[in-house]
């Protein structure tokens, strides 16, 4: 996200003029970018403790200038860090953006603010961010009892306490949710491509920014999914069903038709497939899509290109192909305690390729 867009969204957020879609965009941006998140939290702090509503825009702008001057005086007596310099810069930009915003009647927070989907809350929620690096996983228990297991290279943004009519979080990456039942307060997960609404259930969500596919796998209960570019369409998942989302032409396919056909028109919207999840064995309750929660990397008839992306997150390495034809190789297998070299050597048993490790990169040739 560019600086100008970030400033626009922050300005609208601080002035309580942000739309539902814009708020989702901002929250996902904050979940993915620690630097922007730090700047946003610093900016928000300037208004957090103010209880006064300023109806006059000129007076509001003068108040902002006073706060900025006070901050500059404070910093002049201490060591100025690049981050704080950035805060001052963004304060001036936000001050201008907010005061000049059409229809903006006041700048500072009142006691009631509006969060995602226009839900009014009596207090402003404090937000937490959990990020995992490659090879790491983390489990979070929210204040409502919902349990979330975060896969590697994932980010979750969530409120310290749920105070509104809905319970909303923002995910980038992959996570397994076991949502506490509360019919009066639906649980909503926002991702880059889709929004998932639940009352109480267990399911897996995978939505990495660098992955063209996003998936939702329902274990029990029921969930409702809306696609970002088709908010009026609602897809209801039943237990054992999996939703696969891809940008492209729009089509609907029911169970046992999991193949995604190539999009015929990239401007036609989002393509999705509704299929069933994969049991590892007929008599086994283990599920392919959630096997990562048991520290197993399991793949079935998966292309080398897709498997390489998963191995990068699993082992914390970078894999590069010198021959695009090798990306089409397909593999099935299970990794649990194998090292990266043991894993690659196992793949070489079924397909002819070589690899070379240099620094933190692995070259396939």
Choice between 347 and 249, residue whose per-residue pLDDT is larger: 347
pLDDT value of position 23? 82
pLDDT value of position 311? 94
For β-strands 127-131 and 155-159, DSSP reports them as antiparallel
Decide if pLDDT at 280 tops 60: no
Each residue of 86-129: pLDDT tens digit?
555 555 555 545 544 433 333 333 333 333 333 334 344 588 89
Q: All domains of the chain, ordered by start, with CATH? A: 3-112 (no CATH), 125-276 (2.60.120.1440), 296-364 (3.55.50.30)
With 0.75 as the threshold, say if the pTM is over it.
no
Each residue of 201-213: pLDDT tens digit?
899 999 998 888 8
pLDDT value of position 162? 92
Each residue of 292-308: pLDDT tens digit?
988 899 998 999 999 99
What is the percent of the chain with per-residue pLDDT over 90, rounded to a whole number? 32
Decide if pLDDT at 310 tops 50: yes
Across 11-20, 70-79, 90-99, the highest mean pLDDT is recorded for 11-20
């Amino acid at each position: 996200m560019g600086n100008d867009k970030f400033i626009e969204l922050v300005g609208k957020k601080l002035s309580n003029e942000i739309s539902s879609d814009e708020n989702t965009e901002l929250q996902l941006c904050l979940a993915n970018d620690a630097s922007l998140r730090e700047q946003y939290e610093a900016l928000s702090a300037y208004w957090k403790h103010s209880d006064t509503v300023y109806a006059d825009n000129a007076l509001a702008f003068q108040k902002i200038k006073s706060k900025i001057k006070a901050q500059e005086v404070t910093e002049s007596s201490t060591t100025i860090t690049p981050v704080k310099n950035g805060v001052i810069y963004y304060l001036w930009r936000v001050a201008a953006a907010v005061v000049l915003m059409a229809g903006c009647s006041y700048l500072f927070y009142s006691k009631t603010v509006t969060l995602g989907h226009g839900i009014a809350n009596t207090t402003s929620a404090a937000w937490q961010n959990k990020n995992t690096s490659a090879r790491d996983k983390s489990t979070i228990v929210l204040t409502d009892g919902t349990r979330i297991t975060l896969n590697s290279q994932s980010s979750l943004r969530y409120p310290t306490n749920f105070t509104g009519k809905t319970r909303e979080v923002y995910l980038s990456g992959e996570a397994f949710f076991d949502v506490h039942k509360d019919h009066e307060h639906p649980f909503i997960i926002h991702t880059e491509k889709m929004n998932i609404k639940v009352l109480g259930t267990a399911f897996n969500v995978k939505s990495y920014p660098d992955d063209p596919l996003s998936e939702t796998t329902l274990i029990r209960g029921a969930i409702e999914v809306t696609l970002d570019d088709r908010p009026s369409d609602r897809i209801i998942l039943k237990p054992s069903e999996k939703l696969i989302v891809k940008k492209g032409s729009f089509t609907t396919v029911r169970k046992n038709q999991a193949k995604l056909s190539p999009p015929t028109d990239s401007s036609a919207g989002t393509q999705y497939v509704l299929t069933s999840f994969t049991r590892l064995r007929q008599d086994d309750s283990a599920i392919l899509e959630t096997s990562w929660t048991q520290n197993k990397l399991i793949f079935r008839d998966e292309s080398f290109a897709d498997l390489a992306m998963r191995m990068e997150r699993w082992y914390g390495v970078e894999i590069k192909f010198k021959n695009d034809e090798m990306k089409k190789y397909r593999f099935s297998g299970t990794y649990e305690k194998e090292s990266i070299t043991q894993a690659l050597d196992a793949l070489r048993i079924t397909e002819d390729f070589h690899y070379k490790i240099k620094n933190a990169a692995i070259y396939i040739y």
